[in-house]
Amino acid sequence: MAPTMISPDYYLMLSLALFTIGVIGVLTRRNVIIILMSIELILNAVNINLVAFSRLWGDVNGQVFAIFIITDAAAEAAVGLGIILAFFRNRETLLADEMDLLKW
């Protein structure tokens, strides 16, 4: 059948919106778990973008790249959560402002 697609602009806008929301979440929330989730959101926004353009160009590379991103997100989430747990066990806190041990 003939390929049809909504104009990629829509997907760009969506991606941008999700990206922005994700950035806000990272910068604004105190709870580190929510920060991690916001990072996942950002990654997702990027995925949408990639897949949209993959569809536009009729190229599967974009999707492959998106798979790799998802893989990476998984690894990162695992390690990150491990760190959070370790930190939580030590400091009893989940708040980013209280994790300022790197301050001189």
Q: Among all chains, which residue has been given the structure tokens 């993959």?
A: 54
How big is the site for another protein, counted in residues (CB under 8 A)? 82
Residues 6+ apart with CB under 8 A from 97: 30
CB-side neighbour CA atoms (13 Å) of 35: 14
Provide, rounded to whole angstroms, the least separation between the CB of residue 52 and another protein. Answer: 6
Please report, as residue ranges, which positions from 15 to 34 form the binding site for another protein (by CB under 8 A). 16-31, 33-34
Give the nearest distance from C-beta 58 to another protein in angstroms: 3
Taking CB under 8 A as the criterion, which residues in 27-86 touch another protein?
Answer: 27-31, 33-38, 40-41, 44, 47-48, 51-52, 54-61, 63-64, 66-68, 70-79, 81-86
Contact predicate 84/72, CB 8 Å: no
**Shortest Cβ distance from residue 50 to another protein (Å)?**
9
d(CA 35, CA 97) in angstroms, rounded, equals 12
